[in-house]
Amino acid sequence: IAGITQAPTSQILAAGRRMTLRCTQDMRHNAMYWYRQDLGLGLRLIHYSNTAGTTGKGEVPDGYSVSRANTDDFPLTLASAVPSQTSVYFCASSDLTSGGPDTQYFGPGTRLTVL
């Protein structure tokens, strides 16, 4: 099935632990994004990648890192988790070469709780 997958679906993590959230898309989109969504706030961009091999910082990048070794995968790593990183994390992708609107398509999300 075409689309974006994320893993895990949910996770409870002890503070100080390292965690990688996985994201894979099979639409051959060149751009990928990581957002966090917190109650009462809009989606906030953590990191993005416009093409394989490049990444950029979004609005709230501190405490997170990403890599983009190939077109399909865009993992998000929390090096040392803190309770303020408790959130729902969405991965998204878009085709910046289509000539049309840069519509972003979202994965199902990962619900992360840091205790």
- Report the 3 state secondary structure along 58-112: CCCCCCEEECCCCCCECCEEECCCCHHHCEEEEEEEECCCCCCCCCCEECCCEEE
Residue 99 touching other proteins (CB under 8 A): no
Give CA angle at 22 (19, 24), nearest 5°.
170
Between 1 and 101, CB nearer to other proteins: 101
> Which residue in 20, 44, 75, 86 binds other proteins (CB under 8 A)?
44
- Which one of 1, 2, 40, 99 is in contact with other proteins (CB under 8 A)? 40
Taking CB under 8 A as the rule, does residue 46 contact other proteins? no
Q: How many Å apart are CA 100 and CA 115, to the nearest integer?
A: 43
Among 79, 96, 97, 115, binds other proteins (CB under 8 A): 96
Scanning residues 65 to 94, which ones bind other proteins (CB under 8 A)? 90
Q: Which residues bind other proteins (CB under 8 A)?
A: 40-45, 48, 58, 90, 96, 101-109
